[in-house]
Amino acid sequence: MEGGDSGPCWIPWHPPGPASPTPPSVCAHPQFSVFLGLIFFLELATGILVFVFKDWIRDQLNLFINNNVKAYRDDIDLQNLIDFAQEYWSCCGARGPNDWNLNIYFNCTDLNPSRERCGVPFSCCVRDPAEDVLNTQCGYDIRLKLELEQQGSIHTKGCVGQFEKWLQDNLIIVAGVFVGIALLQIFGICLAQNLVSDIKAVKANW
């Protein structure tokens, strides 16, 4: 729209020529501020909902991990993801090693012909720092032993509990990241509003 007060957007008209500066339109910046504001309030609402419904989220995380345990051998990417999580958080299964009974290769039923019967994946094993070569068979038959005997060989804590512990141990870092992102968004909103004010001031003096 050309100069004047007839609309929310202002794009001044200049005669054609190499020395004809064109200031930016004022209409895009309020939209940018609104967009950042919506993202900020969505993140805030998500944080509140996570705190209020933390028990429900814990149950959903437990269900998600168990569903992935069932499909452990069906998808190599999923398998790598589970192995990474169990190694990183020093855990095994959603609630514990017996969750691997949900998988057809690791369950302890008498009809299971798999060599991995009553075992767990290698990512559940307690790694020996002195080992140069990864022992991928370290979890074989481990669940035939008593729990006290298992503790020296595999991680017996579930990944849901270990993930919650990790969040608590790194609460300051996690909170700092979210606060930093929020401050950047607020700064962007303020910057956009200042730019709109400057453009309107130029428009008023045009």
Q: Could you tell me if 33 and 185 are in contact, meaning their C-beta atoms sit under 8 angstroms apart?
A: no
The long-range contacts involving 101-106, CB below 8 angstroms and separated by at least 24 positions, are: 102/66, 102/69, 102/70, 103/69, 103/70, 103/72, 103/73, 104/70, 105/72, 105/73, 106/72
Nearest to 159 by CA among 127, 197, 193, 120: 120
pLDDT tens for each residue of the chain, 206 residues long = 444 444 445 444 445 555 445 555 555 556 666 766 777 777 777 767 666 667 888 889 899 999 999 999 998 999 999 999 999 999 999 999 999 999 999 999 999 999 999 999 999 999 888 888 888 999 999 999 998 889 889 999 999 999 989 888 887 887 778 778 877 777 777 777 777 777 777 777 77
Task: Give pLDDT, residue 36.
Answer: 65
**Domain containing residue 161:** 55-169
**Distance, CA of 139 to CA of 124 (rounded, Å):** 7
DSSP track, 154-166: B--S-HHHHHHHH
> Token pair 């004010």 is at which residue?
197
Count structural domains, the chain. 1
Is 44 contained in some domain?
Answer: no
Q: What is the CATH number of the domain that holds 132?
A: 1.10.1450.10
**Distance, CA of 148 to CA of 40 (rounded, Å):** 48
Is 17 contained in some domain?
Answer: no
Helices (H), the chain: 28-52, 54-70, 76-88, 147-150, 159-169, 171-204
Is 22 contained in some domain?
Answer: no
Task: Give pLDDT, residue 62.
Answer: 92
Is 16 contained in some domain?
Answer: no
Task: Give pLDDT, residue 116.
Answer: 95
Nearest to 102 by CA among 67, 73, 78: 67
- N-term to C-term CA, the chain: 14
Is 99 contained in some domain?
Answer: yes
Is 140 contained in some domain?
Answer: yes
Is 154 contained in some domain?
Answer: yes
Is 183 contained in some domain?
Answer: no
